[in-house]
Structures are given as C-alpha cells and as structure tokens.
Amino acid sequence: MAIAEVPAVLTEEEMLHFRTRGFLGPYSLCSEAEMAGLRPAIEEVLETDPPNGKNRIHNRHLDSRAIYDLSTHPEILSRMVALYGADLLLWRTNFFIKYKGTKAIPWHQDFNYWPLEPPIIVSAWIAVDASTKENGNLQLIPGSHRKIIPHIKATPDVQFREMADAGYYDSEQLVDLEMQPGEFILFNERTLHHSKANFSDLRRIGLAVRAIPPIVHVLKYDSEDHALQVIHGEDTMGFNRVAQPPL
Ligand SMILES: O=C(O)CCC(=O)C(=O)O
C-alpha cells in the first residue's frame, strides 16, 4: 500500500476529548470477521524470527508488510493526522501478548521510558484478539496526561522495571477499554495506562503503533536496521533515519 488515503476526520468534540482526556475510541479498524481473516498471518509473523535475531514482538512492521499495513490503516492514520498534523513518521510497533498467567503491566506514562525529544507520540492500540476484563484489557485514567507522574522501581508482580508512583494518581478514576477484535484506541505519551494480569484461558494480543511528528528526534534506535517510515505527508525536518516500508 502506498501512503494511505485519509477517509475519516474527527469532530470538534472528539478533538476536544483527546486534548482534555488524553485518549479516543474505541473505533473500528475492521470487522471481527476481517480480523479473524488477518489473524493467521499475524500469528505466523509472531512465530517467525525477524532478520538479525531481533525480538519477535517488536517492530515487525519493518519486515512484514501485513503488520505495516495494519499499523498504518487509514482508519488509524486519518485520526492521527487530524490530531497531530499532516506529517507523521512511524517510529515503533509493539505486540503485547497475554496468555493465561501473563503478569500485569503496571500503571505508567509511556514517555517515561522512551528516547524521544521532545516526547510527542501518538499511540494506537489495536485489538487482535478480544480484549476484555477477563483477559486483561487496557485501563487508563482520563486527564492523567496533564501532569508528569514520577516513576519508581516496579514491584516484582508486574512486567516493567519502573511504574508510576501510586501517590500521584487516583486509580478510582480509571476507564476500562474493552475492545472487540478489529477495534482500536488512540492515546498520547502521558496518558496513564496499565493492564491487569490475565487469569483467563483467553489469549489477548494487542498491537501498539507509535507515530511521531518530524520535529521529534529519535535519540536511540532499537536496532541497527531500525528506521522510521513516512506514513503521511513528508519528513519536513530530516532529523531521523528514514527508510521505505517492506515490500
Ligand atoms: O497491552 C498492554 O497491556 C499494555 C500496552 C501498553 O502499555 C502500551 O501500549 O503502551
């Protein structure tokens, strides 16, 4: 797919919602049946080693056209463009796979961990499997992106090394984002989010897509062949390593 067409725009209300609450959605990227059709190809990617022995769950848009196309689907891209302007680069993609017994992801603000300056990132999180209260759906705190929350050493029951300091947020305010396969949400680099452990027999795969405007410098790349793709408009700054998407 060439640079995607942009069919949908956001209403003023949706724009305001994103600015004040730090997230939008869920929206439909494709039907449940269409996602069921895509799932075998996604599973095949996840069962295959990427070039140069890198991690199977990170940046697979670099070697799989199917993952690139899913990550840059017009339903996502059009909304990112409405929020962040016409010029966008794809920085990273990450699969978050939760089988039965997979640990929780702690409350966190993404920008705490990431080598980006200034830290301006829009994330889409796409439900490949159904993501429900049973199998550890995303939860986030609306409006939490308005402040920087200190992160501290994480407890051993969660997946990350650092987590948001619980003294600085009120988890009573959380919103559950249950999603059917083919749905996605958008959130920004400071929106506090987490997911609980999966105690069910139901697998939960989500694909997170991270896009940045050209003004953002990537201070550290994920691998030697890590480069960004211009997914909409142009790279007006030329700060970052840019490459073509996979064929
Ligand atoms: O999928 C999850 O459980 C967590 C996702 C997440 O932390 C992210 O997309 O930044």
- The pLDDT tens digits of the residues spanning 172-218 come to 999 999 999 999 999 999 999 999 999 999 999 999 999 999 999 99
Q: Which of 124, 141, 120 is nearest to 218 (CA)?
A: 120
User: What is the average per-residue pLDDT within 221-228?
Assistant: 95
The predicted structure's pLDDT at residue 5: 53
Count CB atoms within 10 A of the CB of residue 51: 9
Distance CA 134, CA 59 (A): 27
2 C-alpha to ligand 1 centroid (Å):
28
Residues with CB under 6 A from ligand 1: 96, 105, 110, 123, 125, 138, 193, 195, 206, 208
In ligand 1, the atom with minimum distance to the C-alpha of 125 is: 9
Of 36 and 7, more confident: 36
Concatenating the DSSP letter of every residue in 203-245 gives -EEEEEEEEE-TT-EESS-SSTT--BEEEES--SS--S-B-PP
Residue 4 — pLDDT band, cuts 50, 70, 90? low
Mean pLDDT to the nearest integer, 114-140: 98
79: enclosing H helix or E strand: helix 74-84
**Predicted pLDDT of residue 130:** 98
What pLDDT is stored for residue 1 in this prediction? 41
d(CA 141, CA 144): 6
CATH of domain 12-232: 2.60.120.620
Q: Cα of 194 to ligand 1 centre, how many Å?
A: 6
Mean pLDDT of 168-175: 96
pTM over the 0.85 mark: yes
